[in-house]
Homo-oligomer: A and B are copies of this chain.
Amino acid sequence: MKLNIFKIGGNVVDNSQTLEQFLDSFCRCQERKILVHGGGALAARLAEDLDIPVKLYEGRRITDEATLRITVMVYAGWINKTLTASLASRGCRAMGLSGVDGFCIPAVKRSPHPVDFGYVGDINPAKIHVVFIQRLLEEGLVPVFAPITCDRSGQLLNTNADTIASSLALALKTYYRVSLHYIFDKEGIYGSNDSPEPLPMLSKEQYLKLRSRGVITGGMIPKIETALQALSAGVEDVTVGTTGIRL
């Protein structure tokens, strides 16, 4: 049985045209499917409007209590319900979830040493409550995951959406042939900074070469590395971009 896991980030969530196109094509997929979404500009805008300063450590966000509250409100509240309602209006039996619900993605708060990133959750694919998710899928439901989890004490935690997508893929690959799709507003990955067409496929060797040449940079690096790890751990295939370049 085939399962498609789609991850969309802020650049899709924030662009209504890209988002509508994605949701249309997501609904056309007739196989079992899961949507994992990240954040978007709304969380940052809300923090600014509420005068909550953004705390960073080497460019990475620190989630203090006020930031956690905003993250939960925006991700698990506004974005999750907006996406679920949009899918419902297209006849898709979407079910908005987070790792908290049914405690389906147990997390642990990241150690404060060497750097205290605050209320950030780390997850382990082996701990995911696979039967719970499988039952939803077999009922014909379409889980829509916000990147929020909690630990055993009930502490809510902000969790990386790319990691949730790849962890779900790893946890479910025993039961399904899993394809993992990282969707973003670019067509895919380009072989050089001025190539007109994205690559149809990217090998690990090509990735390393493009990274060392500075063509692949920034946020794409952890994304592709998470994807490559998922591939080597047995996820059937992984694509990135709107057209779905195969890794």
Query: What is the interface of chain A, defined by CB distance below 8 A to chain B?
Result: 46, 49-50, 69, 72-78, 80-82, 84-90, 93-98, 100-103, 135, 139, 141, 148, 150, 152-156
Are B84 and A73 interface neighbours, CB within 8 A? no
Given the contacts A76-B77, A77-B72, A98-B96, A82 and B135 also touching, CB distance less than 8 Å: no
Query: A63 → chain B, closest Cβ, in Å?
Result: 14
Considering the complex, give the chain B residue whose CB is closest to the CB of A96. B101
Contacts of A103 in B (CB 8 A): 88, 93
Tallying the copies of this chain within the complex gives 2
Are B72 and A78 interface neighbours, CB within 8 A? yes
Contacts of A89 in B (CB 8 A): 150, 152-154
Query: A81 → chain B, closest Cβ, in Å?
Result: 5
The residue in A69, A101, A139, A152 that gathers the most chain B C-beta atoms within 10 A of its C-beta is: A101
Contacts of A94 in B (CB 8 A): 101-102
Query: A33 → chain B, closest Cβ, in Å?
Result: 15
For the complex, give the distance between the alpha carbons of A89 and B106 in Å.
Answer: 11
17 contacts between A and B (CB under 8 A): A49-B50, A69-B78, A72-B77, A76-B80, A76-B81, A81-B148, A81-B150, A84-B101, A85-B155, A85-B156, A86-B154, A89-B152, A89-B154, A93-B103, A96-B100, A96-B101, A97-B101
